[in-house]
Amino acid sequence: MTYAEMAQKQSLPYESKILLAKKRIEQFDIECERRGLNTHISVGGLDSITLLMFLRSLGYSSSHVPAVSVSILEDKSIQAIHRQLRVECIKPLKSMIQVTQEFGYPIISKDVARGVSVIQNPTPKNAVMRHAIMTGETGPKNGYKKSPRMKLSQKWLDIFGGPENDTYGTDYQTCPFKVSDKCCHYMKEKPLDDWAKEHNSIPYIGLMASEGGRRAKALTAHGCNYFGVTTTRSCPFAIFTRQDLLQLALDLKVPVPEIYGSIERKEDSTLYTTKAQRTGCVMCGFGIHMEKRPHRFDRLREEDPKQWEFWMYNQGWGEVLSYIGVGWEDEPPKTKEDSA
What is the percent of the chain with per-residue pLDDT over 90, rounded to a whole number?
Answer: 71
Structural domains in the chain, CATH included, are: 3-94+183-273 (3.40.50.620), 107-168 (no CATH), 287-339 (no CATH)
| Each residue's pLDDT tens digit, 254-296 | 999 999 999 999 999 999 999 888 887 878 999 999 998 889 8
Q: Which residues contact 114 (CB under 8 A, 6 or more apart)?
A: 180, 181
In the prediction, which pLDDT does 142 show? Answer: 62
In the prediction, which pLDDT does 131 show? Answer: 86
The C-alpha atoms of residue 271 and residue 281 are separated, in whole angstroms, by 24
The C-alpha atoms of residue 161 and residue 157 are separated, in whole angstroms, by 5
Q: Looking at the predicted structure, is the pLDDT value of residue 338 above 70? A: no
Query: What phi and psi, each to the nearest 5 degrees, are found at residue 318?
Result: -60, -45
Region 177-185: what's the mean pLDDT? 95
In the prediction, which pLDDT does 3 show? Answer: 87
In the prediction, which pLDDT does 277 show? Answer: 83
In the prediction, which pLDDT does 303 show? Answer: 86
SS3 279: coil
**Confidence bin at 166 (pLDDT 50/70/90):** very low
The C-alpha atoms of residue 70 and residue 188 are separated, in whole angstroms, by 6
Region 198-226: what's the mean pLDDT? 91
* Nearest-10 Cα torsion for 117, 122, 127, 129: 0
pTM of the predicted protein model: 0.85
In the prediction, which pLDDT does 137 show? Answer: 85
**Confidence bin at 143 (pLDDT 50/70/90):** low
**Confidence bin at 172 (pLDDT 50/70/90):** low
| Each residue's pLDDT tens digit, 238-259 | 999 999 999 999 999 999 999 9
Among 76-80, 170-174, 282-286, 296-300, the minimum mean pLDDT is found in 170-174
SS3 332: coil
